[in-house]
Amino acid sequence: MESPAVSFLLFLLITTVLLPYLSSSEPSNVFPANKHPRFLGKHSHPIKPKYQQQYRYETRYFSQQLDHFSFSDDVPRFRQRYLINNEYWAGPSRLAPIFLYCGNEGDIEWFAVNTGFLWEIAPRFGAMVLFPEHRFYGESMPYGSREEAYKNATTLSYLTAEQALADFAVFITELKRNLSAEGCPVVLFGGSYGGMLAAWMRLKYPHIAIGALASSAPILQFEDIVPPETFYNIVSNSFKRESNSCFDTIKHSWNALTSAAQREDGLRQLSKTFHLCRELKSVQDLSDWLDSAYSYLGMVNYPYPTNFLMPLPGHPIREVCRKIDNSPDGSSIVDRIFNGISVYYNYTGDVDCFELDDDPHGMDGWNWQACTEMVMPMSSDRDTSMFPAYDFDYSAYQEECRRDYQVTPRPRWITTEFGGHDIEHVLKFFGSNIIFSNGLLDPWSGGGVLKNISETIVALVAEEGAHHTDLRPSTTEDPDWLVEQRATEIKLIEGWLDSYRQKIKATFNM
Amino acid sequence: MESPAVSFLLFLLITTVLLPYLSSSEPSNVFPANKHPRFLGKHSHPIKPKYQQQYRYETRYFSQQLDHFSFSDDVPRFRQRYLINNEYWAGPSRLAPIFLYCGNEGDIEWFAVNTGFLWEIAPRFGAMVLFPEHRFYGESMPYGSREEAYKNATTLSYLTAEQALADFAVFITELKRNLSAEGCPVVLFGGSYGGMLAAWMRLKYPHIAIGALASSAPILQFEDIVPPETFYNIVSNSFKRESNSCFDTIKHSWNALTSAAQREDGLRQLSKTFHLCRELKSVQDLSDWLDSAYSYLGMVNYPYPTNFLMPLPGHPIREVCRKIDNSPDGSSIVDRIFNGISVYYNYTGDVDCFELDDDPHGMDGWNWQACTEMVMPMSSDRDTSMFPAYDFDYSAYQEECRRDYQVTPRPRWITTEFGGHDIEHVLKFFGSNIIFSNGLLDPWSGGGVLKNISETIVALVAEEGAHHTDLRPSTTEDPDWLVEQRATEIKLIEGWLDSYRQKIKATFNM
C-alpha cells in the first residue's frame, strides 16, 4: 500500500517556496537557489515500475495549443500525454461515464498509480478512465524538452492553471467527438492542486463535466480568505494533541539548534549528531530538513502504516512524539529531535547517513506557478505554531520571484479568476455537483471548503482524515469513517449521473 | 431618438466577413480586401457630440495586463478606457449596485450613448454606471496606437473575448477595492456581442457579478448548434411577411443584376440606375451594398421611426417593399430594387449619389475576432432565403483568414470554452440570474436563447422586437410589449438584488 504522491507535490510549495521564509532570519537567505524542488525526480521514478502492473492503461498523446487564450500561429503546439483505460467503459449507447483525473504538478503515471479510488470504482460505473497530464510536467513538455520548456519566463509563461484547464477542456471535447461519445457524462477527480483544478474545471466548464470530486483542494488558501497561520497551526496541533512536551521540545529546538551551531565546531557536531552524510554548511539547511519532515508528517498522518516517500507507521506523529518524549533521561533537545525525526527519515533503520539535498534540479514547475499565480500566503504564529515565528512578507516573496524567474507574481489573480472570497454566497445559487472532501489532520484543510454550500455543492469533512485519504487505494485497515466517506462519494456521483441521464431521457422521451 | 449602434457593430461580421461569401460565385472574390469594416469609423464619430450631452459621465483609464492568461513581464500593459457616473450611486453602506455595460467591438462612448435603458433605470436603483471599453477598440489600444496594435497577428493575438472578460473582472475587482465597495453587487448589461460577453461573464465569473441582462446575444450562433441558414431566413421572412412579390423581386434581382452587368456598357448603366458616385468595377460591389442594406433592415426593423445609420421610417421593411411593389407598371426588376433600397440609403432624399465603399480601413478588430474564435457559420438557403444561395465553406473561410491575418481560425474553441451545445441541460441546474432577451424580427435571434432554461435563467422573447430593442432609450412611441418587457427586466434585476442583500443580511444578522 502506498500513500498518495499527490500530497507530496502540492507540498513542494510549502517546502520550497514558503518554508525558507519561515525558518530564515536573514532576508538574503529566504529563497536559496538550492531549495528548488527536487522531490519529484527523486521519489517518483523508483515507485513507478511497481505500480504499473497494478492498474492497466494505455499511454497516448494529444496535440495541444500551447496558448489557448491568445491567437497567433507562431506559438507552437505540444504533445500532452494521457493515460486511458477503456475496458470497463460501457460506451456511448449506455451514456457511460468518463472518469477523468485532473493531472497536477508531476508525472501523470505517478498520480494514476496513486489514485486507487478512481480505479476501484470505475468498473461498477462502467466508466472510462482518463488521466491527462498537466502541461510542463512529466512528458508533457512544450518546446520539445524540459530544458527548453523551463528555459526562461517567456517559455514558462504558458504554465498556468487556466491553460491546464483549457487543455483538459479541449482534450475531453475532441476525445468524445472522436468516439462519438458526446453524450457521455464526464466526472472529474483530483487531489491537492489536482483537486483545485477539478473544482475550478466544474465551475468554469459546466458543459464539459457534470461534477467534480475535489479532495484536499485548498482553493481558499489565497489572499486573505483564510488566516495565513492556519497551515502551521494545524501541523502544530497534530503534534500537540499527541503530547504537549513534544510540541514544546520542537518549538524550543530551533533556538537550541542555532546555539549548538554557534559553538566552536558546532556545525560539525550537529552533522554528526544527525548522521548527515556531508558536513552542514549552515544550520538553515538542517532546519529546512526538519521543517519539511514535520509538515509532511502533518499531511501523511494516516491511521495505518503507509509507504509514501518513506515507510511510516500508522499515526506517525504519535511515533515521532513518543521518540522525542521517551528519549533517555538527560537527552538534549538536539538528541531528542534526532530521535524523533528518525521515525520519518529512517523508520526501517536502513539509512546509514542522511542527504539533506542530494538532487537539486534548478527551476521547478511548481515554483514558477507559486511565483506567478499560486501565491498562498503562509505565516507561522509566535504562540500557536511550533515552527519558527514568521509573518508572510509579500515584498520579499516578490523580490525572490523577480530574481529567480524574472517574473512578478499576481497575488490577487486567482481570486479574480476563480473567486474564493465569500464563496458560500457566490455559489449558494450558482453551480452544482462538487464534493469538497477534506481531512482535518491535513494542514491543507485550512484552505479547503469545510461547509456545505448548497444541496449539491457539499463538504465532506473527516476529523481523522489526512491529505486526500479518500483518493488512496482502499486497504483492509481502512477505518469505518473512511469506508463511509467513500460510500457517500460513490452515492453522490451516482446521483449526478442519474440526474444527468434523466434530463437526457426527458428530452428524447427515451 | 437613435437606434442602438450596437447592432451595427455585430453586424460588421455579416457584412464584411460572411456576405462576401454569400454573394460571390468566384472563390477568388469571397473575401475582398476592400470589404474590411469601415462602418464604425464612418458612422460613430459624427453621432457622438450630440449624445455626449444626453448622459453625464467621466472618462477615466485603468492600467491592464495585456495577457491575463500567460505570465511574462515582457508583455506590456495598456490603458483601458472607462466611463463612470457616480451621481446616482447610493454607496457601499447601502450595498448599492454597480451597473456595468460590457463594452463590445467599438468606441465605448458610442455604446454608452446608445444604451439608454441602463441610464434611465440607474437612478431608481441608486446604481453606479460603468462602461469599460473593449480592448483593441476605441481608445483602449495596446502598444500605444491603433496602428501598432493592429500591426500583425502577434500584436492582435491578445484581442479575444476571454481577455476582454478578464479585463472586466480585474477592472471591477480593483475598482470595488479602491472604493471599499467589495460588498456592492454588480449587474451586467450588454447587447449583441456585448450581450454575449455579459452572459459569458456571469457564467465564468459568478463571484464578480450577480446577474446579466444579455440582449440579442447570439451565443448559439457557433458550430452546428443552430442551422446556418437561420440568419438569412429571418431577414427573408421579414420581407416575405410584408409581401410575397417583394420577396420574389429581391430573390430574382441577383440574376437580373448579373445579366444587366454583362450587357454591353452594363456596369455603366447600372451605376447610373443606382445613382452611384463612381462607376462600378464589378456587380459584386453592388450586390454587397444591397445585401448589407437588407440585413441591416432586418435588424433595425423597429415599429417607429429611428435614426441609426440612416434615418428610417417605422416598419422600414414595409416601406421598402411598398416601393418595390408599387413601382410604376413596366418597371424593371433593377428599377424596383433601386426604388426599394432608396428607402434605406436615402430616406430623407438628400443624397445625390451613393458611395459604395468610401472608407476602407484595412484591418479591423471584428474581422480579426471572426478569423480566430468568432467563427459563426452562415449559409443562405436556395429556397427559403431571398439572398443568393450559399453553403458555408469553412475551407475557404480558413484560407482567407490565413491570407489576411496569417492566422488559423479555431471554429470549435468558443463552444469548448463557453459551451452552447445542449445549453438547456447544462445550465438547468447550473448558474443563475441571466436574462436572454431577443426580438424575433432580429436575424440574430436565430442564435439566441429563446426558451427559459431554469427559474433564474430566463428568455424574454418579443415577437415584434428587432435587435436589442430593449436596451434603446425609451420613447413615447414604445409599444406596450416593449414597455412591459422593460418592466419585467427591472423586476428581475430587483429580484437578484433583493436575493443578494438577503443572503448578506442573513450572514451578518443585519
pLDDT tens-digit readout, B142-152: 999 999 999 99
- Domain count for chain A, please give it: 1
- Residue A327 pLDDT exceeds 60: yes
Mutate to test the interface with A, among B63, B64, B67, B69 (most CBs of A within 10 A): B69
The pLDDT tens digits of the residues spanning A344-361 come to: 999 999 999 998 864 433
User: How sure is the predictor about A38, in pLDDT bands with cuts at 50, 70 and 90?
Assistant: very low
Report the range out of A51-55, B19-23, B65-69 with the highest average pLDDT: B65-69
pLDDT (average), residues B482-501: 97
Residue ranges making up the domain that contains A390: 1-243+358-510
- The verdict on residue B284 lying in a domain is no
Question: Rounded CA gap, B202 and B188, in Å?
Answer: 8
**Predicted confidence (pLDDT) per residue in A387-414, tens digit:** 999 999 999 999 999 999 999 999 999 9
Question: Pick from A466, A497, A500, A472: which is nearest to A486 by CA?
Answer: A472
How many Å lie between the alpha carbon of B389 and the closest alpha carbon of chain A? Answer: 30
A133 part of a folded domain: yes
Judged by DSSP in three states, A181 sits in: coil
How far apart CA B411 and CA B374 sit, in angstroms, is 7
- C-beta separation of A408 from B73 below 8 A: yes
Q: Does any domain span residue B261?
A: no
* Virtual torsion, Cα B381, B387, B389, B394, nearest 10 deg: -90
Look up residue B306 and give its three cell numbers. 429611428
Per CB-CB distance under 8 Å, the chain A contacts of B503 are 425, 428
User: Which residue has better confidence, B22 or B427?
Assistant: B427
> Across the interface, do A154 and B72 touch by the CB < 8 Å criterion?
yes
Triad B104, B105, B107: Cα angle to 5°:
90
* B507 at interface of A, judged by CB pairs closer than 8 A: yes
- In degrees and rounded to multiples of 5, residue A11 shows phi and psi of -65, -20
Residues from chain B contacting residue A423 (CB–CB below 8 Å)? 207
Point out the catalytic residue in the list B291, B364, B442, B470: B442
Q: Residue B270 domain-assigned? A: no
* Cell numbers representing residue B264 in the block: 454591353
At A357 the pLDDT is 65
| pLDDT: which is higher, B23 or B386 | B386
Q: What is the mean pLDDT of residues A200-217?
A: 98
Averaged pLDDT score across all residues of chain B: 88
Instruction: Tell me if B429 and A372 make a contact (CB, 8 A cut-off).
Output: no
At B67, the pLDDT band (50, 70, 90 cuts) reads very high
pLDDT confidence band for A4 (50 / 70 / 90): very low
Rounded to an integer, the average pLDDT of B75-97 is 96
SS (H, E, C) A253-319: HHHHHHHHHHCCCHHHHHHHHCCECCCCCCHHHHHHHHHHHHHHHHHCCCCCCEECCCEECCCHHHH
Alpha-helical regions (H) of A102-179? 108-113, 116-125, 146-149, 153-156, 161-178
Any CB–CB contact under 8 A between B431 and chain A?
A: yes
The residues that bridge with B460 in the sheet, in sequence order, are B437
Considering the candidates A44, A140, A192, A236, report the single residue annotated as catalytic.
A192
Residue A140 is part of a domain; what is its CATH number?
Answer: 3.40.50.1820
Mutate to test the interface with A, among B182, B207, B219, B503 (most CBs of A within 10 A): B207
A373 pLDDT more than 80: yes
Could you give the ipTM of this predicted complex?
0.90
Would residue A130 count as lying in a domain?
Answer: yes
| B8 within some domain | yes
Rounded to whole angstroms, the Cα distance separating B97 from B500 reads 10
- Rounded to whole angstroms, the Cα distance separating A253 from A259 reads 10
User: How does pLDDT run across A165-202, given as a tens digit for each residue?
Assistant: 999 999 999 999 999 999 999 999 999 999 999 999 99
Instruction: Give me the pLDDT at residue A450, please.
Output: 98
pLDDT in tens, A243-266: 999 999 999 999 999 999 999 999
Whether residues B429 and A456 touch (CB distance < 8 A) is answered with yes
**Residues B182-212: pLDDT tens digits?**
999 999 999 999 999 999 999 999 999 999 9
Mean pLDDT, residues B74-92: 96
B332/B306: higher pLDDT: B332
For residue A20, being part of any structural domain is answered with yes
pLDDT score, position A506: 82
A179: exposed, middle or buried (C-beta count within 10 Å: 0-12, 13-18, 19+)?
Answer: middle
pTM (whole model) above 0.80: yes
Among A35-44, A435-444, B81-90, B387-396, where is mean pLDDT lowest? A35-44
Rounded-to-integer distance, Cα B302 and Cα B465, Å: 7
Give the pLDDT band (50/70/90) at residue A307: confident
Report the pLDDT averaged over residues B90-102: 97
Average pLDDT over chain A reads: 88
Question: For residues A324 and B402, what is the distance between their CA atoms, to the nearest angstrom?
Answer: 70
Share of chain B above pLDDT 70, in %: 87
- Identify all chain B residues contacting A205, using CB atoms and an 8 Å cutoff: 417, 419
Task: Tell me the per-residue pLDDT of A135-157, one tens digit each, with 9 for 90 and over.
Answer: 999 999 999 999 999 999 999 99
The answer to whether residue B233 sits within a structural domain is: yes
Q: Is pLDDT at B44 greater than 60 in this prediction? A: no
Give the mean model confidence (pLDDT) for residues B81-104: 97
Instruction: With a cut of 70, say whether residue B285 has pLDDT above it.
Output: yes
End-to-end C-alpha distance for chain B, whole angstroms? 44
A14 to chain B, minimum CA–CA distance in Å?
A: 21
A134-165: burial string, b at 16+ Cβ within 10 Å, e else: bbbbbebbbbeebeebbeebebbbbbbbbbbb
